[in-house]
Structure 1
Amino acid sequence: MMKTIGIIGGMGPMATVDLMKKVILATDAREDQEHIPMLVDNNTNIPDRTAAILGKGESPVPELMKSANRLAAQGADFLIMGCNTAHYFLPLMMPYLKVPVINMIEETAKFCAEQGYRKVGLLASAGTCHAGIYQRALERVGVTVVQPAGAQEDAVHRMIYDGVKAGNPDLDTTDVRKALADMAADGCEAFVLGCTEVPVAVSIYHLEGNFIDATEVLAERAVAAAGARVLSHLPSRTSVSH
């Protein structure tokens, strides 16, 4: 019997659908009954995580806990969150969670280390960048992190908020492309898509690079934890130089 996945969603709604889709695509199934049962709480009342981290908005923890409790009460065996920035608040939630949670940030850092990457670029919201959650997780496994600064950081943030969240397919992403080129020139071997909207942005704006989709990493770890067969779509390195 497979376990039931509980998804704390609504951060944002399109990113929640993207996570659910990636769980389905990562499941090696040939019929309905081989797929994983999922419960989704699309809680759009959760306050903006970046605003809270930057001291400009209310804490999302109460609403995050409401979602977690609803999902546990409905039968979720473990929880996942598609929002990278929300993981900053996970330590405040952990003592009160009724079921386990898979930490997307830690799992993505492990994946980078498993692939043998020494230096990666980070594409994420301003909240995630300033919170340092990816930097700490990656440094713990020996991976150096580079992230856009100044106008380029603002451009990535705009792509997330004014682009994907706003449903704007015509956003100018010139500065984002320049950020990718600059990080590659600085020796980054891959780019961590460290915001749930960024993989969506890569598709919408046709960005190019060796991308590590944190949402996909999370989806594959969740499929394995649920007890299903994993059909991996993640990049792999056949030879790694140390």
Structure 2
Amino acid sequence: MQQKTIGLLGGIGWASTAEYYRIISELVVQREGDAHSARIVLQSMDQFDFTSRADDPPAIVAFLAEQVARLQAGGADFFLFCANGAHRFAPALLPLVELPFLSIVDATAARVQASGLRKVALLGVKQTMAGRFYHDRLAAHGIDTVTPSAADQERIHAIIYDELVHNRMNAASRQVFCEIIAGLARQGAQGCILGCTEIPLLVRQDDVDIPVFDTTRIHCEAAVALALGG
């Protein structure tokens, strides 16, 4: 039986938030049977409320703290960001909230470590690829991280925000991602972290030749394990 209610902080963007709801629900049914469904509290923010504060980190942190408080008031026992990039604000946010936090970065790093790979590529929004929150956590597990060139980071970032967050899937954009991943594999990447929760909507394991780590599914699996007690 589900022992804890899952709190989802979504909306950046809505397409991957919908995937969280679907995947978590399917996983709970798989484990508990058709008579069950997942207990979830969803706080879906307006993406503009988040992105419009992009140049003011204290304002974003304060805004996120308000959203987490709403999840807690709704009965959530722990919470997740339905996004990767927002995790860069976790160090400043967590001291301000009471609700336990389940990190997509920690869950993904543990999965990569379990795979035995020691060098992986990282794709995501620019703040994820250029930031340190994934690199440092992976390094703590003895894993090296490689990222695309600055030009390719711009291309990836644009596709995410212009297409994927709006649930627009384009075959030409999929080819861009596949070519970038192939290039990183030639640089020694043994696998690739799809470090934006919208990327798995476009790129699947069958599209590329190296293992991919679907951070959305990894995070959902960790949430269900925690909610069901293992």
CA distance in 2, matches of 1:32, 1:9: 26
Give the match for residue 29 of structure 1.
Answer: 32
CA distance in 2, matches of 1:73, 1:182: 47
3-state SS of 1:32 partner = coil
Give the alignment of 1:114-153 within 5 angstroms. Answer: 114-153=114-153
Q: Does 1:214 align with 2:215?
A: yes
Q: Structure 1: where are the runs of 5+ without partners?
A: 230-242
Asked if the contact 1:160–1:201 (Cα under 8 Å) also holds between the matched residues in 2, the reply is: no
CA shift, 1:36, in A, is: 2.6
Identity of aligned residues (%): 27
Give the match for residue 233 of structure 1.
Answer: none
Give the match for residue 79 of structure 1.
Answer: 79
Asked if the contact 1:104–1:214 (Cα under 8 Å) also holds between the matched residues in 2, the reply is: yes
Give the letter for the 2:104 counterpart: M
Distance 1:48 1:5, change over 3 A: same
Give the match for residue 193 of structure 2.
Answer: 192
CA distance in 2, matches of 1:166, 1:116: 35
3-state SS of 2:188 partner = coil
CA distance in 2, matches of 1:166, 1:3: 31
Asked if the contact 1:2–1:36 (Cα under 8 Å) also holds between the matched residues in 2, the reply is: no
Give the match for residue 51 of structure 2.
Answer: 48
Which structure shows the higher helix fraction? 2
Distance 1:113 1:61, change over 3 A: same
CA shift, 1:171, in A, is: 6.3
Normalising to structure 1: TM-score of the pair?
A: 0.84
CA distance in 1, matches of 2:8, 2:167: 23
Give the match for residue 13 of structure 1.
Answer: 14
Asked if the contact 1:11–1:46 (Cα under 8 Å) also holds between the matched residues in 2, the reply is: no
Asked if the contact 1:23–1:220 (Cα under 8 Å) also holds between the matched residues in 2, the reply is: yes
CA shift, 1:57, in A, is: 8.1
Give the match for residue 4 of structure 1.
Answer: 5
3-state SS of 1:26 partner = helix
CA distance in 2, matches of 1:9, 1:48: 13
Structure 1 runs of 4+ aligned residues shifted over 6 Å read none
CA distance in 1, matches of 2:5, 2:166: 32
CA shift, 1:26, in A, is: 2.6
CA distance in 2, matches of 1:136, 1:186: 20
Distance 1:4 1:166, change over 3 A: closer
Normalising to structure 2: TM-score of the pair?
A: 0.88
CA shift, 1:63, in A, is: 2.2
Give the match for residue 162 of structure 1.
Answer: 162
CA shift, 1:58, in A, is: 7.8
3-state SS of 1:92 partner = helix
Asked if the contact 1:36–1:226 (Cα under 8 Å) also holds between the matched residues in 2, the reply is: no
Give the match for residue 239 of structure 1.
Answer: none
Give the alignment of 1:167-182 within 5 angstroms. Answer: 167-170=167-170, 172-173=172-173, 174-182=175-183
Q: Structure 2: where are the runs of 5+ without partners?
A: none
CA distance in 1, matches of 2:56, 2:78: 31
Give the letter for the 1:149 counterpart: S
CA distance in 2, matches of 1:39, 1:213: 23
Asked if the contact 1:120–1:188 (Cα under 8 Å) also holds between the matched residues in 2, the reply is: yes
Asked if the contact 2:13–2:166 (Cα under 8 Å) also holds between the matched residues in 1, the reply is: no
Count of aligned pairs: 223
